[in-house]
Structure 1
Amino acid sequence: MSRRIGIIDLGSNSIRLILMYIGSNGSYRLLDEIKETARIGENMGPERVIKQPALERAVQTIKLLQKFCRANKADSVYGVATAAIRSAVNGGEVLETIMKETGVSFRILSEEEEARYAYLGVVNSLDFHDALVMDIGGGSTELILCRERKMVQWTSLPFGAVTLSENFLPTSLAEPEQIEQLENFLTRQFAAVPWLETARGLEVIGVGGTMRNLGRMDRKRTRFSLNILHNYRIHAERVKDIYELLQNTSVDERKAIPGLSKERADIILGGVAAAVKLLDYTGAPGIRVSGSGLREGVFYEYLFRDWPEPIITDVTEHSVQNFMDLYRVRREHAEHVAKLSLSLFDQLRPLHGYGLWERKILRIAALLHDVGNVVSYYNHHKHSMYVLLNAKIDGLSHRERVLVALIAASHGRIDLKFKLQQHADVLFPQDGMLVRRLGTLLRMGENLDRSSSGVVEDVVCTIKENEVQIDCLASENADLEIRELYKKVTNFNKVFGKKFKFPKE
């Protein structure tokens, strides 16, 4: 039976909801998300008291989110609260009021739980080995050291985008003295984390609204060709360029910066300052933005509650299999096309010279090449390309995602030259030939299973001086497959330098 799960994150700056779908076959996806800036941690002061106006904003926001969940038939709604509630002397009373007024029960996360959920959101959606995760919230910042994808160290620092802005940046246009005091404070905070020395040189994986807005601003500045934020990389120098821009603009001027949320204009400078000073302190090459964080971590813990640990071992493979289930790909056909395409790839290696990475790309493209059928059979190869360029497939870099999409679409006709130019900022110069070669192998694999019945069980390739002879190991007559292959595969000679032929019967 399918389920819909709502998860509400009551943060210091914003209250966010994700509504997740879990299918009867175990597949899952994000259905919707809502973010409201309630600022429950605003002006708490040294007495650490959540003020009545902030509480009222939170109650009204959560009422709206609860109403949304009911309208969308959520089976369960889980609430978690972070730094503002955790540190407030009246945090318990606030949650009692929220429960009474909205019917939503919130669990206060400890510092360690908050760090762990951020880690779960990242480790289950990105492919990495060693990294330093930085989750900048409104009232706290979590640092998590990952070695071989395991969480080995963590700390929660008592500042976030809201508190830094309130304490150090009270004016609309930051003054040099304010920036200096802010940066000195941040450097002292990082220096007080003893294990941070061991994270020097590691890439920073950024979680939270500050990091997402940083990614969106950079994406606009570079005119990035993909509308994808998850797994987006920002070089350290570009982060510092944005930091300099924010220092020299007022709050109102920041609202006009492309990619920056207007609601975050007054607190973005404090958050980005924290990111920049961490880059300076650790010598990190840059930031990789994660679109998954605490809320997704809570969801993964729920979804994988029967596992020994709620951690995906192979993010890419898991995501591809989930994708196939979500879009009801014909598994038997897709897996057979992948088998035939990879058999051709392996046997023709002397002609192309590619290795395991390219083989992985071909396999994923073959498994997902028909996903566009969910839109329509007609032009489904183009629909496949669109879906693969826009839907969530975790574990793939942006270059890998574009390659998979173009190769998958190559089992039909596309304007490949235009697409290569469109995504030249993501692709390498040699990727055009890579797409043509792997696309040809996929088209051959597709047509060798044209009847979707597995008639051609495998192929044997014999590379000769001027041609490649392909023998079909077929369980019955394969005339349809061979005829379609001759008809549809016309560029083999162009990309491999030899003709192909089947032996005469």
Structure 2
Amino acid sequence: MAVLSLFRSEETSPAAQDGRTAVIDIGSNSIRLVVFDGHGRLPAFLFNEKVMVGLGGRRDENGDLKDDAIADAMEILQRFRSLATAMNVTDLRAVATAAVREASNRDDLLGQLADIGMPVRLLSGGDEAKLAAMGVLSAIPEAEGLVGDLGGGSLELARIGGREVKECVSFPLGVLRVAELRASGKKGALKRAVAKALKSAEWIGKCEGQPFYLVGGSWRALARVDMQRTRFPLPIVHHYTMQPERAAKLVRLLARIDKSKLTCVPSMASQRIPNLPDGAAILSQLVKQAGLGELVVSAYGLREGLLYERLDEDTRKIDPLIAATREEGERQGRFPEHGDLLNRWIAPLFVDESDTDKRIRLAACLLADTGWRAHPEFRAERGLEMALHGNWVGIESNGRGKMAQALFTNFGGGVGVVEELVNLCSTQELEQAARWGLAMRFGQRLSGGVAGPLELSNVAVEEGRLVLALDQGDAELYSQPVAKRHRQLADAFGKEPEMRLL
């Protein structure tokens, strides 16, 4: 298995990330513009606009896109082109998927777009599947299993593992077509269609029992229904996980629920509601017939895959969580490289931790100096909010909870466990994260955030004592405020504080 790099390469330095990239995705249900700031491992989302045009359902009996559908698409696409220009986008990529690909008169639309200076990459079904899978790998590098991208006109499946995309396939089983199958009145029509599709791609059997990564607006909307139903404590849909049996339960729920109640689901687009039963139906059939494991939602898909596709192998190996938290720390912090140095300084106190916890601890340290602009009475809440609701990837809800506890403690929230986090982490995990926060807070108070005192000192646990070894020249730094934080940290470890001069 490839190892993620926690360290920055030249490709991800701030100087290498200048410029903006934009993707225009012409889909069967919607047309979307996403503008990204930078070109590195994980460029920030600057702008995101979606318009439900419904090209997939606006064809005549000959298979042509209707004139009004083309006119509506052109109006939106001209707006998007103008916005991209105004936002100083230096790299604009436009792609079209099943609705345009299958239209008899697709050249009419593509020709009009070429005339206004917007060449479009017409994706095959295999292209869609691969790019969606690359988007998942961009955000969840260690993902292994089956990726499913459900659109309006097609369903793409791809097998991933070892940070690579393996087999890919596309089927004409988008939510619009599922609706047609279910409305045909033929009992078991969808079940037979899914069985036929799976039989034609026998490699899907290799994914039995493995996670199924859900991509696409219809499945994200379905996950939001489940989050509401289960009272999930975070509003973050990315990396939300459901057990496989939830798919069938959602089918039954959507069959009996008053659809007006679905408008109350947070972040639910009203245009998605009519497609929810069909999205749940095909998900349930796929899970049952392919014997898939847990269902993991990915907010990253085709559009992010287009960016990931162009990265070199070394840049792809960079950990996306560490890249994002390091960039945020450099942007909002006072002292360059402070987070990495602080993490190295406190690491001897946590030598027995798992690699997963070491990674979350590093992310917390990289954000440890980002609260200084906030009012002192609200810094702890800022740390909590940043960890829980920040646009991070490569981290599950449990990791967000640990990072939130560490930052809450680091920013002065006290030595106790945050009660609202107990639904995300165990008490023991939160107590350990609080110790991270106390250690970070101790190091920052000792050094004032500058490098020298941390580089010339060290901390360790020794036979009932938590020892700070300080350089002779820095002895004056150990004043009452520092001693107080030393005592707090030692108490959290059940040790006595001791200061030694080197």
| TM-score range for the pair, normalised by the shorter chain length | 0.7 to 0.9
The residue type equivalent to 1:198 in the other structure is: K
The residue type equivalent to 1:343 in the other structure is: P
Report the Cα distance in structure 2 between the residues aligned to 1:255 and 1:290, rounded to whole angstroms: 22
Matched, 1:12 2:28: yes
Matched, 1:499 2:496: yes
Please name the residue that 2:46 is paired with. 31
Q: Aligned pair in 2 of structure 1 residues 416, 210: CA closer, same or farther (>3 Å)?
A: farther
Checking the alignment, whether the CA contact within 8 Å between 2:405 and 2:434 is kept in structure 1 is: no
Please name the residue that 2:424 is paired with. 426
- What per-residue deviation string (whole Å, max 9, x for no partner) do you get for residues 475-498 of structure 1? 722322454321234433542222
What's the offset of the Cα at 1:406? Answer: 1.7
Checking the alignment, whether the CA contact within 8 Å between 1:161 and 1:271 is kept in structure 2 is: yes
Report the Cα distance in structure 2 between the residues aligned to 1:377 and 1:75, rounded to whole angstroms: 40
Please name the residue that 1:365 is paired with. 364
Q: Alignment partner of 1:48: what SS?
A: coil
Please name the residue that 1:97 is paired with. 112
Matches within 5 A, 1:369-380: 369-373=368-372, 379-380=378-379
Report the Cα distance in structure 1 between the residues aligned to 2:25 and 2:268, rounded to whole angstroms: 21
The residue type equivalent to 2:138 in the other structure is: N
Q: Bigger CA drift: 372-381 or 187-196?
A: 372-381
Checking the alignment, whether the CA contact within 8 Å between 1:455 and 1:476 is kept in structure 2 is: no
Q: Which one of the candidate residues 128, 132, 138 is aligned to 1:114?
A: 128
Report the Cα distance in structure 1 between the residues aligned to 2:431 and 2:192, rounded to whole angstroms: 51
Please name the residue that 1:232 is paired with. 240
Q: Alignment partner of 1:79: what SS?
A: strand
Please name the residue that 2:178 is paired with. 164
Report the Cα distance in structure 2 between the residues aligned to 1:191 and 1:301, rounded to whole angstroms: 29
Matched, 1:137 2:151: yes
Please name the residue that 2:446 is paired with. 448
Please name the residue that 2:92 is paired with. 77
Matched, 1:54 2:62: no
Please name the residue that 1:153 is paired with. 167
Q: Bigger CA drift: 246-255 or 187-196?
A: 246-255
Matched, 1:64 2:79: yes
Report the Cα distance in structure 2 between the residues aligned to 1:436 and 1:57, rounded to whole angstroms: 54
- What per-residue deviation string (whole Å, max 9, x for no partner) do you get for residues 164-212 of structure 1? 2134337xxxxxx567322332232223221111110010011111121
Checking the alignment, whether the CA contact within 8 Å between 1:28 and 1:326 is kept in structure 2 is: no
What's the offset of the Cα at 1:8? Answer: 0.6
Please name the residue that 2:291 is paired with. 283
Q: Alignment partner of 2:89: what SS?
A: coil
Checking the alignment, whether the CA contact within 8 Å between 1:420 and 1:427 is kept in structure 2 is: no
What's the offset of the Cα at 1:155? Answer: 0.6
Report the Cα distance in structure 2 between the residues aligned to 1:300 and 1:393, rounded to whole angstroms: 16
Report the Cα distance in structure 1 between the residues aligned to 2:297 and 2:251, rounded to whole angstroms: 16
The residue type equivalent to 1:65 in the other structure is: F
Normalised TM-score (structure 1): 0.87
Matches within 5 A, 1:86-485: 86-100=101-115, 103-169=117-183, 177=185, 180-249=188-257, 255=263, 260-302=268-310, 304=311, 307-308=312-313, 311-327=316-332, 330-346=335-351, 354-373=353-372, 379-414=378-413, 420-450=418-448, 452-456=450-454, 457-459=456-458, 461=460, 463-464=462-463, 466-472=464-470, 474=471, 476-481=473-478, 483-485=480-482
Normalised TM-score (structure 2): 0.87
In structure 2, runs of 5+ residues without a counterpart are 1-14
Checking the alignment, whether the CA contact within 8 Å between 2:156 and 2:168 is kept in structure 1 is: yes
What's the offset of the Cα at 1:74? Answer: 2.9
Report the Cα distance in structure 1 between the residues aligned to 2:376 and 2:37, rounded to whole angstroms: 25
Q: Aligned pair in 2 of structure 1 residues 259, 239: CA closer, same or farther (>3 Å)?
A: farther
Checking the alignment, whether the CA contact within 8 Å between 2:468 and 2:499 is kept in structure 1 is: yes
Aligned residues: 485
Q: Bigger CA drift: 364-373 or 487-496?
A: 487-496
What's the offset of the Cα at 1:381? Answer: 4.7
Checking the alignment, whether the CA contact within 8 Å between 1:447 and 1:481 is kept in structure 2 is: no
Q: Aligned pair in 2 of structure 1 residues 300, 326: CA closer, same or farther (>3 Å)?
A: farther
Q: Aligned pair in 2 of structure 1 residues 481, 38: CA closer, same or farther (>3 Å)?
A: farther
In structure 1, runs of 5+ residues without a counterpart are 171-176
Same amino acid, percent of matched pairs: 24
Q: Aligned pair in 2 of structure 1 residues 458, 52: CA closer, same or farther (>3 Å)?
A: same
Report the Cα distance in structure 2 between the residues aligned to 1:35 and 1:129, rounded to whole angstroms: 27
Q: Aligned pair in 2 of structure 1 residues 504, 452: CA closer, same or farther (>3 Å)?
A: closer
Q: Bigger CA drift: 225-234 or 360-369?
A: 360-369
Report the Cα distance in structure 2 between the residues aligned to 1:345 and 1:89, rounded to whole angstroms: 63
Checking the alignment, whether the CA contact within 8 Å between 2:181 and 2:189 is kept in structure 1 is: no
Q: Aligned pair in 2 of structure 1 residues 157, 325: CA closer, same or farther (>3 Å)?
A: farther
Q: Aligned pair in 2 of structure 1 residues 169, 250: CA closer, same or farther (>3 Å)?
A: farther
- What per-residue deviation string (whole Å, max 9, x for no partner) do you get for residues 115-136 of structure 1? 2211221111114242210000
What's the offset of the Cα at 1:257? Answer: 5.7
- What per-residue deviation string (whole Å, max 9, x for no partner) do you get for residues 39-87 of structure 1? 1111436743212222122122223323333443333432100111112
The residue type equivalent to 2:477 in the other structure is: L
The residue type equivalent to 1:448 in the other structure is: L
Q: Aligned pair in 2 of structure 1 residues 219, 159: CA closer, same or farther (>3 Å)?
A: same
Checking the alignment, whether the CA contact within 8 Å between 1:373 and 1:384 is kept in structure 2 is: no
Q: Aligned pair in 2 of structure 1 residues 416, 495: CA closer, same or farther (>3 Å)?
A: closer
Q: Aligned pair in 2 of structure 1 residues 432, 230: CA closer, same or farther (>3 Å)?
A: same
Q: Bigger CA drift: 147-156 or 46-55?
A: 46-55
The residue type equivalent to 2:468 in the other structure is: I
Q: Aligned pair in 2 of structure 1 residues 224, 32: CA closer, same or farther (>3 Å)?
A: same
